[in-house]
Structure 1
Amino acid sequence: MESSSGGTTSAARAADVLLEFGRRSSALGVSEIARSTGMSKAVAHRILTTFVECGLLLYEPSTRRYLLGPAAATLGARALDVSPLRRMAREALVDLQRATGETATVTGRLPGGRVYLDQVESTQEIKMTVELGRRFDLHSGSSGRIILAHLSEAEQDDLLSRPLPRLTSTTIIDPESLRETLRAARERGVCRSTGERQEGAGSIAAPVFGADGAVIGSVSVCGPSYRMTEEACDRYESALVEAAQRVSRALGHRAPEAVAAEAK
């Protein structure tokens, strides 16, 4: 019988394997999984085989690679359906898209990353859209960096000590430069980005907080960079901040000034 600590370790390893598929957009082989998770090929193969048997993964014999299966798709769809953040943000996103004319999105925080939960697309012919359900790092793009800006110093240090992938030519990967942008974003309450996660895209994002005061996600406005100019972002900022605060309030967050006023 496996010990409780051993069981925990086994569960963590299995979770690491499954989550790795959320970080990639292509099928993965045993060697890639073993290398990225730090486990042996034998252990990785055993976990992959179990997930294939229960439908969470599919195996392609011709390429000897694995990809997410129908059971994983069911879990992902269900997770979106029951997400309180997604549900509470919907009306605010609709209003924000109407106010700006650009695509409005809501992002949820993950351990060390984030995921787009919903979007209301721009009605303009040329527009930006996001991929729902895919995991992204926090250092690239406004939606992630505004979350990173509101994490504790210890959490920031931990994330910035890890390798930071360069997604485009303008992705900021220098830890000290990132810390400067994080300080500025936290002070202003919004974060702006141009082409850092996706070439030709521009965005501005504001944080969403939970009932306990911790940052749990963000709301953003995004569009082609030639439309998301500094002047445009200036115009959108107040509507964006109001939308993010509206979602935070719906989730039970109370601003510090409101709590202080009630205490008097």
Structure 2
Amino acid sequence: MLGHAASEQMDLIRIANPVLEELGQQIGETTQLRIRDDQESLCVAKWEPKRDLRVNAIVGRRRPLHAGSSKAFLAHMDDEEREAVLSGPLKRFTKKTVTDPRVLRGGLEQIRKAKFFVSRGEINDDLISITAPVFVAPGKIIAALNIAAPENRVPEERISELGDMVARAAHRISAALGFRSPAANGVAS
């Protein structure tokens, strides 16, 4: 069982790495791939631009499921698992970190329905991330792909364009893992 899980993770990383690099080079910002590890998400792959001011992604860094790009996992969990996370302590990182379970539930519903979502200053005041889920079966998330950047470099008018790029990249990884969806949330591969 453990060997199979490790093999799946290695396949995911092998498939995702060129997509992370291509997306990162197109937008000039850090890209990350996170997986769920119990009550946290774990960065398993990254690409960073060569510019001086960039988001420093660290492979192995853990984040709680209730903040930032990790909310992709919380949004796609079954109700029982989600409630277990929401009933525990929810750490506040910044003034924008949502720690009220009722408010989080409403936001998670929106995340489930969208092809990407935006997190502004939830982990770090000055950062923005745009995230899309990577699926292996309908509703079964295996990873979250995100771009992370200083918020001042991501003007509001580019959010939709960048979100579409992230969603397409996540869809490419999902498709390479064998996921086929007749209604791919309007995302072309």
Kindly indicate whether the alpha-carbon contact (under 8 Å) linking 1:213 and 1:253 is maintained by their aligned counterparts in 2. no
Kindly indicate whether the alpha-carbon contact (under 8 Å) linking 1:145 and 1:191 is maintained by their aligned counterparts in 2. no
Please name the residue that 1:252 is paired with: 178
1:157 counterpart = 2:83: yes
Report the Cα distance in structure 2 between the residues aligned to 1:117 and 1:184, rounded to whole angstroms.
26
* Structure 2, gaps ≥5 residues long: 1-5, 185-189
Please name the residue that 2:144 is paired with: 218
Q: Which has the higher strand share?
A: 2
1:167 counterpart = 2:93: yes
Greater C-alpha Rg:
1
Kindly indicate whether the alpha-carbon contact (under 8 Å) linking 2:76 and 2:139 is maintained by their aligned counterparts in 1. no
1:136 counterpart = 2:136: no
| TM-superposition CA deviations, 1:201-252 (whole Å, max 9, x none) | 1110000112575111110011001113322322201111110011111112
Count of aligned positions: 179
1:104 counterpart = 2:31: yes
Q: Normalising to structure 2: TM-score of the pair?
A: 0.87
Q: Which has the higher helix share?
A: 1
Letter paired with 1:105: Q
Give the CA RMSD over aligned residues. 2.0
Query: SS of the counterpart of 1:107?
Result: strand
1:234 counterpart = 2:157: no
Identity of aligned residues (%): 34
1:193 counterpart = 2:119: yes
Kindly indicate whether the alpha-carbon contact (under 8 Å) linking 2:12 and 2:177 is maintained by their aligned counterparts in 1. yes
Q: Normalising to structure 1: TM-score of the pair?
A: 0.63
Letter paired with 1:89: A
1:175 Cα offset (Å): 0.5
1:130 Cα offset (Å): 1.5
Kindly indicate whether the alpha-carbon contact (under 8 Å) linking 1:107 and 1:117 is maintained by their aligned counterparts in 2. yes
Report the Cα distance in structure 1 between the residues aligned to 2:132 and 2:183, rounded to whole angstroms.
18
